[in-house]
Homo-oligomer: A and B are copies of this chain.
């Protein structure tokens, strides 16, 4: 199983950020009505609220670059936990912003959906 969850985490994360960076209005397929998103200080539940939040973010162009990606099995049922740290480059800005994100993925037939999603920018303190 150890190949499986690492490969899944890698595949999911690449798909997610590619989709986010090319057309984030299409991310709804990855969520369900019970899914939760914490985006900075905003907490949302459900596909519709989550997609509305993501599409309303005030930037046009965005690029996620992954620095670290770590995965673990999160249950005996095939759930997978993924933590990513990386850089976010927004619009014309020259300086990337660091971010941390965690996904809790739950199997659904031959696919997975996002049950938990927590995103934070890492501001300098």
Contact = CB atoms under 8 A, between A and B. Distances in A.
B100 A83 contact: yes
Interface stretch (A12-20, A22-30, A56-64, A112-120): A112-120
B74 A100 contact: no
B81 A120 contact: no
Give the interface SS of chain A, mostly helix, strand, loop or mixed.
strand
Contacts of A104: 74, 81, 104
B70 A38 contact: yes
A17 to B, nearest CB: 15
Contacts of A68: 120
B96 A122 contact: no
Report which residue of A43, A70, A115 has the largest number of chain B beta carbons within 10 angstroms of its beta carbon.
Answer: A70
9 contacts: A38-B70, A38-B72, A72-B116, A74-B74, A81-B118, A83-B100, A98-B98, A98-B122, A122-B122
